[in-house]
Structure 1
Amino acid sequence: MAAARTPVLRHFLSCQPRALRVWNQRRWAQVHDVRFLATTQQPRNLVEKYRDKLDRKAREEGHNDIDSLKAAYADKIHALRKEADVVVPPLPPPPPPATPTTPNQQQQQPPPQIPKQPSSSSSTGIKPLSSILDLPKASALALQELTAIWRLHHAAQPTSLSAIIPAATFTTMQATARQHPQFVLPVPHPSQGAEMHFLQWTWDAPTRSATVLFTQLAEYKARGEFAAPHTTVTHYTDLADEGKGVVLMQGSVVRDRGVRVEDAQWLVVCLQRFYGGWDGIGGGEAQERAEERRRLLEWFGRGDGRFSVERLLEEAERMG
């Protein structure tokens, strides 16, 4: 989201892995003649072990003893030994079986991979409203009950912000935000004057949400796109078209960023007023003030020289 911060403030601010050593492994591998090992290490008592069977075989064929039997089969034994001396090239190893053939092999097969379920948050890290509320049950509640539950859910967190905004009001705010996604707002400090804060709108289609990031202007001037926001406010539109006609807003203030929760609340109120959330309330002078706020948004977005911090502060004081 930091990459989306265009240089809109320029006018305003000027006033490897290691390789496998397979070749070396093959080079130093040792090959043994298995046939040699098998035929030269016969046990010395092999003849003694089978003497009874050899004696019986010799008598059956009319020989006096084992030596006479060996002499009779000398030519055949010589031919078999000569045939065994022929070197046969080794066969390539057989491919692994496609399916297990024994129960033991079946037990050794790895379990099938289960597809991962989609994450509960989008690629932007924003949680969907369904991970916070049971949407079917929330849709069935009366608006007063839904409001109480939403506020109670955030009451236990001292750094949280929450609100329920009429869908028509948010539609007006969002239309203005699409045209002017960045702006600056002041936070008045009676003993120190006013502190300026930079805001940016972002949208996330998977969660049907619009988020506003607030960053101290001094922080943004010092760090640019790498500046960290102190307050994040997300608007969920899931219930806007579900018969409720409301948008649920929740936000949080980061501790130790030099901003109090009261300051963040003031910024949210200013956000609603400058982006048309209070348009149509009252007439005459109220309408003139709404037009002035709209002009300030347009001038800031275009880098128009008519935008000034003094006019912005004057308009913020009228709101107080």
Structure 2
Amino acid sequence: MFSCSLTLRADIMLRVVRQRLVVPATAALRPAGLNVPARFYSDVFDRYKDKLRAKAEKEGVSVDELLQKSASKTKADEVYDPFDLVTKANAKQEKPPAENAEKAQSPLEAVARAASMSSTSAKTKDLSTFVDVEALAKHDTKEIEMIWKARFVNKQIEFCGALNSDAYARLYVNARKYPTFVLPLPQGEGVELYYSQWSFVGNYTIHCLITPLAEYKLHQEYAHPRVSVMMHSDFLTDKGIALHNATLQDNEISMDNAVLLTLNLLRFYTADPAASEHSRAKIDLLRQFNTGDTSFSTDKLIEATETLD
């Protein structure tokens, strides 16, 4: 599904994947109240409470009933055609004037069209920050991936990889539906939780910042991220590939741990719910966390990171 130029040592992967993590009952690294995501998202609910009330009144239910209804979707509802949802997600964005509009030939072209209508900030790092996009486009898919990985060889604080079109389509849709999540990182006999947040920053580019959850809860938008991940879909339509790279933002996290967090981020957001029960569980955890579903469990989160699919 995806590859990473920096391969984790076998002993690290075996320890994380096969050995069941033990979280002490008094785990100091687990922020208080995490098993009740609604507390963590109280600020979000406050921000959108008027919209929630309006929707609840329109449907003739209470706000609590509306949230419960949203949280009680069946697993069958989560089985989707990723390309179909990419098209629907982007259809909500501003459309070009009718005289200039042309029907997209494929869902991937719909992604490209929606991206091309976005404005890019001068401060946004896109693919052109790292490579000559025009020159790279002259190569085939395998050569593009090889050149991209060579670009980051021997980098001390950076690593990279690539996603095929199917995986990127799922990630794109899930990142729009579920823009925030938490990722567990093994720390001794327990885990430290990291908060991830996606942003759609410009043409063909989306970013994700990964920050210690405890620090994010304390400083909110002023919290300092440990890892920044960038996804580039410039070649998605013509080459069927999306490139990604990540950068360590400080020396508070090791390269191995940064790679592990990034790999788990990709595994959750590219999960195919039609593929297996484990993949459906990953999507369900994304939904639970973003809807404030009180059934969200860190134990289930840790268990999901132990599966290979």
Relative to the length of structure 1, the TM-score reads 0.57
Match of 1:246 in 2: 241
Q: Is the 8 A contact 1:214 1:231 kept in 2?
A: yes
User: What CA RMSD, in Å, does the superposition of the two structures yield over aligned residues?
Assistant: 2.4
Q: Deviation digits for residues 69-88 of structure 1, max 9, x if unmatched?
A: xxxxxxxxxxxxxxxxxxxx
Tell me the secondary structure at the aligned position of residue 318 of structure 1.
Answer: coil
Q: Unaligned regions of 5+ residues in structure 1, if any?
A: 1-7, 15-120
Which residue of 135, 153, 159 maps to 1:161?
Answer: 159
Tell me the secondary structure at the aligned position of residue 236 of structure 2.
Answer: coil
Q: Is the 8 A contact 2:38 2:293 kept in 1?
A: no
CA distance in 2, matches of 1:231, 1:197: 10
Match of 1:177 in 2: 175
Q: Is the 8 A contact 2:196 2:211 kept in 1?
A: yes
Pairwise CA distance, 1:124:
6.4
Which residue of 293, 296, 299 maps to 1:310?
Answer: 299
CA distance in 2, matches of 1:304, 1:197: 19
CA distance in 2, matches of 1:162, 1:289: 26
Tell me the secondary structure at the aligned position of residue 204 of structure 1.
Answer: strand
CA distance in 1, matches of 2:129, 2:302: 39
CA distance in 2, matches of 1:210, 1:277: 18
Pairwise CA distance, 1:319:
3.9
CA distance in 2, matches of 1:199, 1:304: 18
CA distance in 2, matches of 1:122, 1:259: 30
Tell me the secondary structure at the aligned position of residue 155 of structure 1.
Answer: coil
Match of 2:52 in 1: none
Match of 1:272 in 2: 266
CA distance in 1, matches of 2:126, 2:270: 26
Q: Is the 8 A contact 2:227 2:249 kept in 1?
A: yes
Tell me the secondary structure at the aligned position of residue 127 of structure 1.
Answer: coil
Tell me the secondary structure at the aligned position of residue 140 of structure 1.
Answer: coil
| AA partner of residue 301 (structure 2) | L
1:240/1:294 CA distance change after superposition, 3 Å:
same
CA distance in 2, matches of 1:155, 1:300: 36
Structure ranking higher on relative contact order (CA contacts 8 Å, 6+ apart): 2
Q: Is the 8 A contact 1:272 1:278 kept in 2?
A: no
Pairwise CA distance, 1:138:
1.0
Relative to the length of structure 2, the TM-score reads 0.59
Which residue of 110, 134, 140 maps to 1:142?
Answer: 140
Match of 1:290 in 2: 279
| AA partner of residue 161 (structure 1) | F
1:13/1:187 CA distance change after superposition, 3 Å:
farther
1:125/1:165 CA distance change after superposition, 3 Å:
same
Match of 2:250 in 1: 255
CA distance in 2, matches of 1:204, 1:132: 16
Pairwise CA distance, 1:279:
5.3
CA distance in 1, matches of 2:171, 2:268: 9
> How many corresponding residue pairs?
198
Percent identity of equivalent pairs: 28
Q: Is the 8 A contact 1:209 1:235 kept in 2?
A: yes
